[in-house]
Amino acid sequence: MHKTTALIFGYNKYGLEIVQNIKEKYERTRLYSQDESSVSDEINEVEYFDLSDDWSSIEKTVKISDSIAFCVLEDDAQNVFLTISLRAYFKDLLIVAIASNQENANKLTMAGANKVIPIVETAADIIASILELPISSKVLQSILFEENDLKIAQIKISERTTLKDKELLDIDWSMYKGIIVLSIMDKDMKSEFIYSSKVKHHVLKCGDVLVVIGYEKDIEYFKELIGSDRV
């Protein structure tokens, strides 16, 4: 499924991260903002859009069948409306959307999104984390574009967890087949990559949360193997 144009709706941390990390993979990358003042961004080419737009201007300048749209507005209701509007106008457009929780993810699926990535409030930087990892290209390609069951999950360290009181540096993550541990969030909900020099000596304690990616069955097996629960 080769796409040549990326349409990113949302001038925010998600939209900007996506632009920076996929602009080399597409012939054209277009970032849309609801704030007219952001059009003056000297680094990124930003176009203003209104949710009441009929989208005819887009249809005149890009081939929809060769395009992918990212709906990353931070307001869930607006994101659902945007998805409905785009789907109603473009039957063949591939739409990827983000949602703050599973309920809104279901709404976005019903609205016509091809792929929905639920992002809970305590893991607001998960997409940005994935995009910055060395394995980002392969993982992001799998999550967004391929038909599979890859999921992102949060596993909370508890008293019975076998990883409790271990330093991140001392854990052989490769032994946990089928999953990739992306980052750790401490009790203050500060997120860091597990391979970051800043946290490599961090000792896992109750309340810490591991952000992992993998297939559902592998995530469940990992959870049971280390004796922890999902958040």
Spans of all domains in the chain: 5-119, 150-230
Coil, helix or strand for 125? coil
Kindly state the tokens that stand for 57.
Answer: 């201007």
pLDDT: which is higher, 186 or 59? 59
Under a CB-based contact definition with an 8 Å cutoff, are residues 222 and 157 in contact? no
Indicate the burial class of 215 (C-beta count within 10 angstroms; 0-12, 13-18, 19 or more): middle
Coil, helix or strand for 196? coil
Give Cβ neighbours of residue 28 (< 8 Å, ≥ 6 apart). Answer: 4, 5, 6, 62
Sign of CA dihedral 96, 100, 106, 108: negative
pLDDT band at 121 (very low <50, low <70, confident <90, very high): very low
What number is the average pLDDT over the span 138-158? 67
On whether the 5-119 domain is CATH 3.40.50.720, my answer is: yes
Average of per-residue pLDDT values in the chain: 81
pLDDT(173) > 60:
yes
Kindly state the tokens that stand for 200.
Answer: 């490599």
Give Cβ neighbours of residue 101 (< 8 Å, ≥ 6 apart). Answer: 118, 120, 121
Give the other-Cβ count within 10 Å of 124's Cβ: 16
Question: What was the pLDDT predicted at 213?
Answer: 80
The model's pTM is: 0.57
- The answer to whether domain 5-119 and domain 150-230 are alike in fold is no
Indicate the burial class of 113 (C-beta count within 10 angstroms; 0-12, 13-18, 19 or more): buried
Instruction: Say which CATH architecture domain 150-230 belongs to.
Output: 2-Layer Sandwich (3.30)
Which residue do the tokens 């032994």 mark? 175
